[in-house]
Chain A
């Protein structure tokens, strides 16, 4: 089982988010659980943003990639809301690959509802400005670097919100 598990994870590290080429669904922290019963694989995934239209594509891509493995006969992929995805689940590899794509990883310290800032993914300058919290996809924001004069994007921080939190 352990060997099969390693093999499955190795494949999942190659399935990229269709809207973030070079960042795998594994590194985005979307894999919650794997189950293997003989040659049938069941994968429980955690959706990123609820309104993300890429979820269906991701489901299909994961299933197809896993079914490429010789011993796998069937693969079932299901999204579960039992566990919430937060941006803390992004791995260090994921953060590095986001930067390569011109997208800054989410800030480490974030209070829901408050303004946040990130360094430029190109030159690492702190001198950046928020152009639009809402970007081309639900999970991204648009920023500008005053130092190297590049527009860039950042992953919106999403963390668990306690009740009665400051709302903005």
Chain B
């Protein structure tokens, strides 16, 4: 049993604990940030206006969650939030690789051939995992992280319910919707595997009771997701696009960074 660690100052007393803690928080922050960025690219493009309001509200709030995790890193001496979010290259980032996948061909400014089925499946898979991780975080030995887990959990209920409803409705809609959703489920299943992982410091992360084990979280996720999927693919999700927890990423992440950091990079000294 690890004693609770109440503050950043206390966490800094134990270098092994500190390293494991920072690694986990980077994973949480980077996941939230890239999901929120890909979500923001849908602004004005969602299937109908009410969905546009809903998705952008979820995305804005998710960006707020990323900000809270970056804030914890700031307290732990990692530097400013803006720099952590905008000024790290792809090979420094720890987000799960499927989360960085482009929404479709084209880009936001011209001919965005984005796919709604892709985003519904991705958001739903992500929110179910986020729920499992938040549940575990509320019992984290790092108290500031447990507090944030509890706070985010109260809000995230609405996000999860939203994407679950889309999944249920599209899987029971007409043949075109069913087959397009199923195709995206199979695709996500091939690449979502690293999302459950805790990276190279996984054993310290679990030993220090910062969050639950990879196996436990994957099992919880499977239980929830298999109850919602009409035809769940066999086996467990794979890692065919690589492993983001080990900082292995696709060209899509470079494209994302170029886009979201464009203004920041144009004048890094600007005061906002």
A residues apposed to B, CB below 8 Å: 49-53, 81-82, 84, 86, 112-113, 131-138, 142, 156, 158-161, 163-165, 167-168
Indicate if the CB atoms of B144 and A159 lie closer than 8 Å: no
Binding site for A on B (CB under 8 A): 50, 53-54, 57-58, 60-65, 67-68, 131, 135, 138-139, 144, 147-148, 150-155, 157-158, 160-162, 164-165, 224
User: How many contacts between A and B, using CB within 8 angstroms?
Assistant: 87
Shortest Cβ-Cβ A-B pairs, 9 listed: A51-B64, A168-B161, A51-B61, A134-B54, A50-B64, A134-B57, A81-B147, A112-B157, A163-B135
The prevalent SS among residues of A at the interface is loop
Residue in chain B with minimal CB distance to A86: B154
Residues of the A chain whose Cβ atoms lie less than 8 Å from the Cβ of B135: 163-164
In the assembled complex, which residues on chain A have CB atoms less than 8 Å from the CB atom of B157?
Answer: 112-113, 161, 165, 167-168
> What would be 6 A-B contacts, judged by CB atoms less than 8 Å apart?
A50-B61, A50-B65, A113-B161, A133-B158, A134-B53, A161-B153
**Bound-state Cα–Cα, A167 to B144, Å:** 24
The answer on a CB contact under 8 Å between A51 and B150 is no
Which residues on A sit within 8 Å (CB–CB) of B148?
81
State how many angstroms separate the Cβ of B196 from the closest Cβ of chain A.
18
**A96 → chain B closest CB, angstroms:** 25
Q: Is the CB of B53 within 8 A of A136?
A: yes
B68 touches A81 (CB 8 A): yes
Q: B148's closest neighbor in chain A, by CB?
A: A81
The reply to whether A133 and B153 contact each other, CB–CB distance below 8 Å, is no
Contact A138 to B68, CB < 8 A, known contacts A158-B154, A161-B154, A163-B135:
no
Which residue of B60, B139, B147, B165 is within 8 Å of A138 (Cβ)?
B60
